[in-house]
Structure 1
Amino acid sequence: MTFGQQLIDWRRELHQHPELSGQEVETTERIRHWLEGAGLRLLPYQLTTGVVTEVGKGEKVIALRADIDALPIVETSDVPFRSRRPGVMHACGHDVHSSVMLGAALLLKEHENQLPGRVRIIFQPAEENFTGARAIIKAGALEGVSAIFGMHNEPGLPVGSFATRGGAFYANVDRFVIRVKGKGAHAARPHEGNDSIVLASQLVTALQSVASRNISTLESVVVSVTRIQGGNTWNVLPETVELEGTVRTHQPEVQRQVEKRIRELASGFASAFGAQIDVEWFAGPTTLVNDEKWATFATRVARDVGYHTRTADVHMGGEDFAVYLNAIPGAFVSIGSASSYGLHHPAYNPNETLIEDAARYFASLAEQALLES
């Protein structure tokens, strides 16, 4: 079996057995088994799920990171290796990322004695709920590391394409829950109540003005209401309605402005309609900020190994890798996967031919970064 086919086979096995964030027990065991079978040493960090391996010797340490968790999505693709776990799917490509870094580990192992330092390869759990990076750091896996690199496949780019950027890249992710409490009533006698559904509907519309009318058009910001829930029958006006959504920004000042404005709108509507409106705010991962030096370096190495490189646009998605970059410098990159369907889609199907080239790229990147650091 060729090296590339081995990586694809591993990816397909991971794809058939996806596990949700924090539940990646079988995934962890598979990765451990493959690493140990290749003679790689595992580091004894206290992790419930996830694996960390290391190649080489010396004081210098460079880290590579893959994520291993899946999503609560029912797969609709028709691939023969589709998910065997109902309602769970690798719809974001973490199975691809894991296979890439497994390949990088094997390649580095082939000439371990010639490495000018150590490469620590992290297979991180719980990226999708933004808790895994903190667990990895708490376990001590970044100690001694001078720079860290990671990737995400990009369905909108062709295979053979590479993109990254220095500075802000992926967005800050905030989540909000707004609870509207009016007064319930019979649907035929709305004047006896205070209609929380009408109020919530108007609030949803008003929230769209935050990005379009309260923040400079030169700034990147998204405000999306993704859930509205209220009532349980057709002829009763419910007392309460709950809204949930997300805010994406790249600048801390804009983030603060958006939260302030949403709270002001909620308070104003509550006063105007004689209702009670409570806003809960949940901060997610911060903006992912690539180190300028390492982003430029990563691009140069990509060009040298044959990728078509470009400067990435800012991304409105969130990424737990941002937590690492708050602690140490490094760079996160996009590698084209040419899927007809986007990330988190039930029919998402990345082109597996990217895996071998990406593995060779990260092995080369880590080795050259050791010389650069």
Structure 2
Amino acid sequence: MTTLLTEQRSTSLSAQQLSQQRVQWRRELHQHPELSNQEFATTERITRWLKQGDIRLLPFDLKTGVVAEIGQGEPLIALRADIDALPIEEVTGQPWASQQPAVMHACGHDLHTSVMLGVAHQLKQREAELPGRVRILFQPAEETFDGAKQLIDAGALDGVQAIFGMHNAPDLPLGVLRTRPGAFYANVDRFVIRIHGKGAHAARPQEGIDSIVIASHIVTALQTLPSRVFSSLESVVLSVTRFTAGNTWNVLPQSVELEGTVRTHNADIRAQIPHKITSLIQGIAGGFGAQAELEWIEGPPALINTPAWADFALALAQETGYHAERAESPQMGGEDFAFYLQQLPGVFVSIGSASDFGLHHPAFDPDESLIDAAVNYFSELAPRALRIVAQQ
């Protein structure tokens, strides 16, 4: 797709043309989504669009992803966009729908990337006025929760003094920006439970140990952990999302595999849950003469916003035309931006995208008009944050 910037420099584009350019970026990314750690063409596109704006690229050793920088001297802050897509077959019917079978930007990372591309170009035009440097991380593999670690390991945070990011929120109306001090997103952990019984003919179940019946008891019993083992005042969500067993209609399978996720905010409760699950599943399986084992895969920690930066983000949102909302309680979604906030102060915000269908849904269709407002917000946030950091 030919972009407007290939025809004329961004300094000469009208506000309407700039808006159209950002939407074009988003739609081209949307048509060509790539899964986590496979974002090669996405990386090439982002690199090309940044070079068209004469934006400096930093030579970090990354398989996919791009790091750009605008400005000179100190201090240094960072902005982040995620760039990967999901293994979902799109059903929006839009002219710019995914052209990749069973791959879709169903989480809006194409929007986030377009926003930060817009910010990079807008800051480039004001580069001489910037009181420091702004580093923009176009991060791969957020969906698999290993992209932030890749950038940290590559040194992309070296020298950075504060970091800022966003996610679109389809449940929020356009023009709403929401965040909160402290815990904002949850600890995210994944589990796999394997139950080993004894296979048998379905007509003679007494000759086997029915792993499906045992697994069904386990699925039900797992729900007692958030409801009966831990206080109802604590936020604990446990969901079984996959139940895999058997391959034909008249055989009781030898084994069953369950998979799911646990979301928490309390670190102490998070640490207890693998032990509680292990005790529960082994007790149930043992009562039937079977065996059960737990594989626990730890994901990103709770996302903890720096209180002062959360207050700053909300005040700036109100000033730049958003309806700013301080979230009353944390949410249960996960974000690997949390790994950055373990290293640095900063804040992550939600921006309304007003989709009838939520994140990770095949009909997810956010309103693209959020892009321009978000570009203006982060383009104003960057120089102000630099001035605050310089005074600290």
TM-score range, shorter chain: over 0.9
Q: Any idea what SS the aligned residue of 1:2 has?
A: helix
**Structure 1 residue 271 displacement after superposition:** 2.3
| 1:22-171 aligned within 5 A | 22-171=37-186
Q: Any idea what SS the aligned residue of 2:223 has?
A: helix
Q: Any idea what SS the aligned residue of 2:277 has?
A: helix
Who is 1:8 aligned against?
23
**Structure 1 residue 77 displacement after superposition:** 0.2
Match 1:233 to one of 248, 261, 268: 248
Q: Output the CA distance in 1 between the equivalents of 2:216 and 2:136.
A: 48
Q: Any idea what SS the aligned residue of 2:232 has?
A: coil
Q: Read off the aligned partner of 2:263 and give its amino acid letter.
A: R
Q: Output the CA distance in 2 between the equivalents of 1:283 and 1:111.
A: 42
**Structure 1 residue 2 displacement after superposition:** 1.6
**Structure 1 residue 338 displacement after superposition:** 0.3
**Structure 1 residue 68 displacement after superposition:** 0.3
Q: Deviations over 1:58-111 (max 9, x none)?
A: 120010000000000000001110001111000000000000001111111111
Who is 2:9 aligned against?
none
Q: Output the CA distance in 2 between the equivalents of 1:256 and 1:29.
A: 41
TM-score, normalised via structure 1 length: 0.99
Pair 1:181 & 2:196 matched: yes
Pair 1:348 & 2:354 matched: no
**Structure 1 residue 259 displacement after superposition:** 2.1
TM-score, normalised via structure 2 length: 0.94
Q: Read off the aligned partner of 2:373 and give its amino acid letter.
A: D
Who is 1:309 aligned against?
324
Who is 1:328 aligned against?
344
Q: Output the CA distance in 1 between the equivalents of 2:199 and 2:282.
A: 20
**Structure 1 residue 300 displacement after superposition:** 1.0
Q: Output the CA distance in 2 between the equivalents of 1:271 and 1:185.
A: 18
Who is 2:215 aligned against?
200
**Structure 1 residue 127 displacement after superposition:** 0.5
**Structure 1 residue 266 displacement after superposition:** 1.1
Q: Any idea what SS the aligned residue of 1:204 has?
A: helix
Which is further off, 71-80 or 257-266? 257-266
Q: Deviations over 1:292-316 (max 9, x none)?
A: 1111111111111010011124111
Q: Output the CA distance in 2 between the equivalents of 1:346 and 1:295.
A: 32
Q: Any idea what SS the aligned residue of 2:376 has?
A: helix
Who is 2:377 aligned against?
361
Who is 2:12 aligned against?
none
**Structure 1 residue 274 displacement after superposition:** 1.3
What number of residue pairs does the alignment pair up? 373
Q: Read off the aligned partner of 1:214 and give its amino acid letter.
A: V
Match 2:335 to one of 319, 324, 337: 319
Q: Output the CA distance in 2 between the equivalents of 1:233 and 1:13.
A: 43
Q: Which runs of 5+ in 2 are unaligned?
A: 1-15
| Sequence identity (%) | 62
Match 2:238 to one of 209, 219, 223: 223
Q: Output the CA distance in 1 between the equivalents of 2:250 and 2:100.
A: 40
Q: Output the CA distance in 2 between the equivalents of 1:183 and 1:76.
A: 42
Q: Read off the aligned partner of 1:213 and give its amino acid letter.
A: R
Pair 1:248 & 2:263 matched: yes
Q: Any idea what SS the aligned residue of 2:362 has?
A: coil
**Structure 1 residue 258 displacement after superposition:** 2.3
Q: Output the CA distance in 1 between the equivalents of 2:248 and 2:256.
A: 13
